């Protein structure tokens, strides 16, 4: 995250929701200031092509949300494509 912190205006999409539970990793991503979208655990249980299909369908909404949000905002993305702020 520190290395990524040097890059400006990155948006990160990850299926590693455990990051959001580790205080040190939370601090690192917040200090980096990037907008982060966490794919909820159900994503990892999908077969590759089903995952790719669902992600492709919700990707425009992820881009839209990232563009509207302040730098450093965090969200979860459900398998059904619903995007929710992470607090």
The ranges assigned to domains in the chain are: 2-85
Dihedral, CA of residue 15, residue 22, residue 5 and residue 63, to nearest 10 = 30
The burial class, CB within 10 Å (0-12 / 13-18 / 19+), for 38 is buried
Residue 68: the pLDDT is: 95
> Using one digit for the tens of pLDDT, what is the confidence trace for 36-50?
899 998 998 999 999
Residue ranges in the chain modelled with pLDDT below 70:
1-8
Residue 41: the pLDDT is: 87
Half-sphere exposure of 30 (CA within 13 A, CB side): 10
- In contact, 62 and 77? CB cutoff 8 Å: yes
């Amino acid at each position: 995250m520190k290395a990524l912190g040097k890059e400006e205006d990155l948006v990160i999409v990850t299926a590693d929701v455990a990051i959001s539970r580790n205080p040190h990793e939370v601090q690192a991503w917040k200090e980096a200031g990037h907008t982060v979208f966490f794919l909820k655990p159900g994503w990892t249980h999908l077969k590759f092509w089903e995952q790719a299909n669902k992600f492709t369908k919700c990707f425009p909404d992820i881009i839209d949300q990232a563009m509207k949000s302040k730098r450093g905002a965090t969200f979860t993305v459900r398998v059904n494509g619903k995007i929710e702020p992470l607090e």
